């Protein structure tokens, strides 16, 4: 699809953004009335859920949130990836659309952003600057440029108004979803919403992301299997991140590559997650496939987008070490104690629900227990985890939001499992994890 054909100006002011949400609520309500009249005419007695979750309303919600971008779109992304097992399948499908539906700024707005941060005449510093974005996401879009000395750069521009709209957008969208009946009333979203705000404020700080890039590059050192784009400090601002352009193809496009190539890519990324958690204590928590590219010439994996980077305390790291070790040994008592320390269990949880959660964890750790290479392509693990989560979420008194540390780590692991399945990869997950699970508590590799 032509990227610029889907360019729409981002509403930057709070009133303009609130008007978008108001029009969405009006449209959903109108759609409910029309659908209700249609079903009554057909002799049916529809429920509120039947009226809200119509295909037309699904399009209204996804289209309006995608046009708002920013925090409004990010809330949908977070909920669709992290709380999907606790949401109606129809709503999960609506929100999942947002991961693929980022619109772009028109050229006039791009120029406005560049002049605001680089000043008039900024174009004189470049031999070429492409106004057609090569990528677009929830809070920014990326352009390619070349300096007069031949440097190829990726320039990430933040959409106008994103930072100042984060808190109000998150609250407004959550209210809209709640009052429209799209969310279970028993689901406590407050912790997730506060975490979404915190993470979004961090992601919207491109100076912080540049620092994360440098920090990860230092942690990886001379690692030959990965490459990160080096930031360009002279051109980087709070709303502009200038980086070295790194060649590569979308990693999910390699699903027909030779089996050893697919195995190596998935193995490197899963192994990197273990390093991030157990060695670095710092995890890039966004598993979007677009954050990984592959340079066939060098055989290196390109790592992108370090805005969503989370530090993990040694206490949480040790608890996950025990949780995984307990799963490998089939030791529910150890797993339960570790999950309690992570903060996963709430006071009202019944013993049977606690056991179901531990069983779900054990299922997710199946690749760690497998002897040899685990064949993700031949496994139905993702379906089994989804079905188990759905069965548990049908119990109304179970609904709760997991602790933020768990939520984002599970999101990352689940994303890597999905990527490995997409590639049909065979990965010795247990062997990759073993060096970290065998270490004593409170220690990291030197």
- Cα–Cα distances (Å) from 79 to 75, 98, 382, 411, in that order, read 6, 11, 18, 11
Angle, helices 351-364 vs 314-329, to 10°: value is 80
Beta strands in 258-387 (DSSP E): 282-284, 292-295, 300-303, 309-311, 374-375
Contact assessment for residue 103 and residue 66, using Cβ atoms and an 8 Å cutoff: yes
- 185 contact partners, CB below 8 Å, separation of at least 6: 178
* Cross-strand bridge partners of residue 146: 128, 152
For 211-266, strand residue ranges (E) read 226-227, 240-244, 249-250
Q: In what order do the strands lie in the sheet with 226-227?
A: 226-227, 300-303, 292-295, 249-250
The 8-class DSSP code of residue 143 comes to: E
Crossing angle for the helix pair 89-96 and 55-68, to the nearest 10 degrees: 40
Is 286 assigned a catalytic role?
A: yes
Residues with Cβ within 8 Å of residue 113, at least 6 apart in sequence: 105, 157, 158, 160, 239, 240
Active-site residue (options: 82, 263, 286, 305): 286
Beta-carbon contacts of residue 418 (< 8 Å; ≥ 6 apart) = 287, 382
| Burial class of residue 165, CB neighbours in 10 A (0-12, 13-18, 19+) | buried
Using CA atoms of 316, 319, 325, 328 in order, give the dihedral in degrees to the nearest 10.
Answer: -90
Q: Which two tokens stand for residue 34?
A: 């029309």
Provide the annotated active-site residues. 286
């Amino acid at each position: 699809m032509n990227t610029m054909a889907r360019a729409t100006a981002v509403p930057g002011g709070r009133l303009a953004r609130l008007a978008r949400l108001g029009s969405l609520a009006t449209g959903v309500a109108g759609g409910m009335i029309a659908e209700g009249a249609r079903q009554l005419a057909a002799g049916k007695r529809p429920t509120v859920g039947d009226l809200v979750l119509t295909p037309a309303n699904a399009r209204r919600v996804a289209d309006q949130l995608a046009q708002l971008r920013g925090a409004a779109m990010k809330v949908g992304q977070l909920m669709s990836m992290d709380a999907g097992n606790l949401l109606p399948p129809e709503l999960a499908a609506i929100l999942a659309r947002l991961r693929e539906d980022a619109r772009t700024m028109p050229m006039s707005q791009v120029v406005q952003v560049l002049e605001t941060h680089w000043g008039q005449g900024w174009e004189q510093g470049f031999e070429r600057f492409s106004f057609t974005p090569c990528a677009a996401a929830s809070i920014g879009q990326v352009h390619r440029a070349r300096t007069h000395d031949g440097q190829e750069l990726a320039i990430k521009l933040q959409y106008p108004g994103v930072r100042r709209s984060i808190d109000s957008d998150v609250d407004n969208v959550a209210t809209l979803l709640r009052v429209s009946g799209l969310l279970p009333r028993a689901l406590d979203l407050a912790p997730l919403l506060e975490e979404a705000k915190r993470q979004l404020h961090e992601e919207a700080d491109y100076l912080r992301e540049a620092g994360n890039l440098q920090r990860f590059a230092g942690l990886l050192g001379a690692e030959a299997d990965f490459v990160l784009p080096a930031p360009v400090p002279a051109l980087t601002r709070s709303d502009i991140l200038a980086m070295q352009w790194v060649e590569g193809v979308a990693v999910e496009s390699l699903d027909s590559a030779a089996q050893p190539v697919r195995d190596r890519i998935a193995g490197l990324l899963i192994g990197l997650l273990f390093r991030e958690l157990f060695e670095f204590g710092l995890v890039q928590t966004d598993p979007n496939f677009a954050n990984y590219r592959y340079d066939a010439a060098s055989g290196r994996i390109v790592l992108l987008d370090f805005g969503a980077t989370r530090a993990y305390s040694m206490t949480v790291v040790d608890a996950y070490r025990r949780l995984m070790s307990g799963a490998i040994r089939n030791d529910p008592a150890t797993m339960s104690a570790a999950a309690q320390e992570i903060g996963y269990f709430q006071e009202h949880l019944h013993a049977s629900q606690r056991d179901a959660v531990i069983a779900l964890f054990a299922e997710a750790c199946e690749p760690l227990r497998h002897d040899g290479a685990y064949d993700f392509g031949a496994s139905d693990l993702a379906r089994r985890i989804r079905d188990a989560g759905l069965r548990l979420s049908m119990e109304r008194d179970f609904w709760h939001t997991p602790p933020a540390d768990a939520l984002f780590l599970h999101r990352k692991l689940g994303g890597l499992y999905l990527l490995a399945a997409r590639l049909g990869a065979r990965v010795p997950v247990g062997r990759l994890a073993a060096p970290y699970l065998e270490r004593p508590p409170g220690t990291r590799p030197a």
